[in-house]
């Protein structure tokens, strides 16, 4: 078979797949990123987390580096996310945090200052982020409220560890999605999330690892370090 014939067949296959499976197949929403570290099972938890959300992570117009290390504080700066491998070892419990950190990339790349000001008010924050007003707590920062609220609004389930965090705004998921769609358009339109059982999951996680992950996430340690990291990036 000639090269031109193979190219034509490949193009035809993509077209047929798009017709059969719809636009969600043609426009995957799992994000554009590369891994720095982490085991295959830990990296897979990141894929599962982003696939479970109905947010179109591909809307972020940059390739994000995701560093996975033990005992690192989960945090984000523009173009880079750090995730604690111990948290990812907790399996599905980690997914909300993964979504939260990637949501910060949505802020960095898709929002402008006017939209951030609007969201600061709508989400009940004091100021947008740590560099805007010294001494902000996690719950007072609009950038944190935005990321956590996005994680919950596009994966609204009791399995989302972010759901009860104090930096989730008191706004209905549908209302938040509608507000965000007025700002970034089709990028905020919910996609069909990939069923978790359609991807390979990690082995069963011992209860002690989940307990340790909960302690780290719910005590707010993540935010205290992220405050400094984000402030220095802005």
Domain segments of the chain: what residues?
Answer: 1-27, 31-233
Question: What pLDDT, on the 0 to 100 scale, is given for residue 194?
Answer: 58
Most confident of 11-15, 37-41, 203-207: 37-41
Q: What is the mean pLDDT of residues 5-22?
A: 37
Question: What pLDDT, on the 0 to 100 scale, is given for residue 148?
Answer: 96
Question: What pLDDT, on the 0 to 100 scale, is given for residue 217?
Answer: 41
The β-bridge partners of 190 are: none
DSSP string covering 152-198, please?
A: HHSS-STT-TTTT-TTS-SS-HHHHHHHHHHHHGGGGS---PPPGGG
Interval 205-217: pLDDT, tens:
444 444 444 434 4
Question: What pLDDT, on the 0 to 100 scale, is given for residue 186?
Answer: 83
Q: Identify the helix (H) or strand (E) that includes residue 232.
A: helix 221-233
State the pLDDT confidence band at 164, using cuts at 50, 70 and 90.
confident
Q: What is the mean pLDDT of residues 58-85?
A: 96
């Amino acid at each position: 078979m000639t090269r031109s014939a193979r190219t034509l067949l490949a193009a035809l296959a993509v077209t047929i797949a798009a017709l059969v499976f719809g636009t969600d197949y043609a426009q995957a929403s799992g994000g554009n990123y590369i891994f720095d570290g982490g085991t295959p099972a830990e990296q897979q938890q990141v894929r599962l987390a982003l696939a479970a959300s109905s947010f179109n992570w591909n809307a972020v117009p940059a390739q994000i580096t995701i560093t996975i290390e033990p005992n690192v504080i989960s945090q984000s700066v523009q173009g880079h996310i750090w995730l604690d491998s111990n948290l990812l070892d907790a399996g599905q419990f980690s997914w909300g945090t993964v979504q939260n950190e990637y949501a910060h990339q949505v802020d960095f790349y898709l929002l402008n200052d006017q939209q951030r000001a609007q969201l600061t008010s709508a989400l009940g924050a004091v100021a947008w982020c740590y560099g805007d007003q010294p001494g902000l707590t996690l719950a007072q920062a609009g950038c944190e409220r935005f990321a956590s609220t996005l994680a919950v609004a596009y994966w609204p389930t009791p399995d989302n560890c972010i759901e009860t965090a104090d930096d989730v705004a008191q706004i209905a998921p549908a209302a938040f999605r509608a507000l965000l769609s007025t700002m970034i358009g089709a990028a905020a339109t919910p996609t069909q999330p990939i069923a978790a059982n359609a991807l390979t999951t990690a082995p069963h996680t011992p209860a002690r690892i989940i307990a340790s992950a909960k302690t780290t996430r719910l005590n707010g340690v993540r935010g205290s370090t992220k405050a400094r990291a984000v402030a220095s990036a802005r």
